[in-house]
Amino acid sequence: MTKSFGKLAAVEARLFLREPMAVFFAIVLPVGLLLALGLTIPGFRDADPSLGGQRFVDAPFTAMMVLLSVVTLGLSVLPSSLVIYRERGVLRRLSTTPVRPGALLSAQLLINVVVSVVATTLTLVLGHLVLGVPLPGSPLAFVAVFVLGTLTVLAIGLLLAAVAPSSRVVQGVGSTLMFPLLFLAGMWLPRPLMPEILRRISDFTPTGAFGQGLMDALGGHAPQPLHLAVLAGWALATGLVAARLFRWE
């Protein structure tokens, strides 16, 4: 059983690496954007009083790129591969073997976690080496927020996969959801610059809480309990509903 899970995860990993779009959007794009914009847009590397004196490339931009990678994986890559597997009868076919189809789901989750860790590590290390972005001031807090946030986003992806009738729908819904969620996280308008009411709304969204938690941890602060609670609440709620509604065929 463990042997076949390892084999399943290895095959799933190879399949992931053969999807150029997934690799591009989950790894190359976030790291590339950070480096390219960080190096070319002059204001990004100047201390900005509206951001509390830090540079935009430091905590705000870096946190958004980590978020971009996780959200791409959770809202697009994970749900569409699961729905395609269901559509093609792969999950059903597995249920006739000694391996439970749940093993494929676990392998998919594992791959997505590993890829988000790789993308985040690359973002932090290359940002540090090329742009002088400080490494997370509170590494433990960063890991905690990262793990909780990633689980939350993947749980939302599972919920999408559970309710979507087809792969076309899940791809459409996933990318439609990504924009407001990234906006509310501060992708285009950093949270410190948001109007009070918008920031308040953002606090209660999974990506707003995740983004702020990452920024806090990168800047060496403890994440706010509110944001941790919001993430845990979303993870629990979406995860439970997904588990109830998930269909293998």
Partner 1 sequence: MAIITVDHLRKTYGTRVAVEDVSFSVKEGEVFGIVGRNGAGKTTTVECVAGLRTPTAGTVTVDADLKEQVGVQLQECSLPDKIRVGEALALYASFYSRPADWRALAAEAGLDLRAPFGKLSGGQRQRLSVALALVGSPRVAILDELTTGLDPRARRETWELIARIRERGVTILLVTHFMEEVERLCDRVAVISRGRVRAVDTPAGLVARAGGEQRLIFHTDDPVDGLRALPEVASVTVADRNGTEVTVTGTGDLLSAVAAVLPPSRTRGLRMERTSLDDAFLVLTAESLTGKEES
Instruction: State the sign of the Cα–Cα–Cα–Cα dihedral 104, 107, 108, 109.
Output: positive
The verdict on 232 binding partner 1 (CB under 8 A) reads no
Question: Would you give the binding string for partner 1 spanning residues 41-80, x where CB under 8 A is met?
Answer: ----------------------------------------
Q: Which of 21, 39, 52, 97 binds partner 1 (CB under 8 A)?
A: 97
The verdict on 4 binding partner 1 (CB under 8 A) reads yes
Among the candidate windows 27-35, 85-93, 165-173, 215-223, which touches partner 1 by CB under 8 A?
85-93
Give Cα 226 distance to the centre of its chain. 19
Among the candidate windows 4-12, 138-146, 177-185, 224-232, which touches partner 1 by CB under 8 A?
4-12
Q: Kindly tell me which of 99 and 122 has the beta carbon lying closer to partner 1.
A: 99
Vertex 203, ends 202 and 208: CA angle to 5°? 60
Q: What is the dihedral of CA 32, 121, 152, 244, to 10 degrees?
A: 100
Residue 154 parent element (H or E): helix 139-163
Query: How many of the chain's residues bind partner 1 (CB under 8 A)?
Result: 21
Question: Would you give the binding string for partner 1 spanning residues 181-220, x where CB under 8 A is met?
Answer: ----------------------------------------
Nearest to 116 by CA among 57, 31, 233: 31
Structure token pair of residue 235: 């993870």
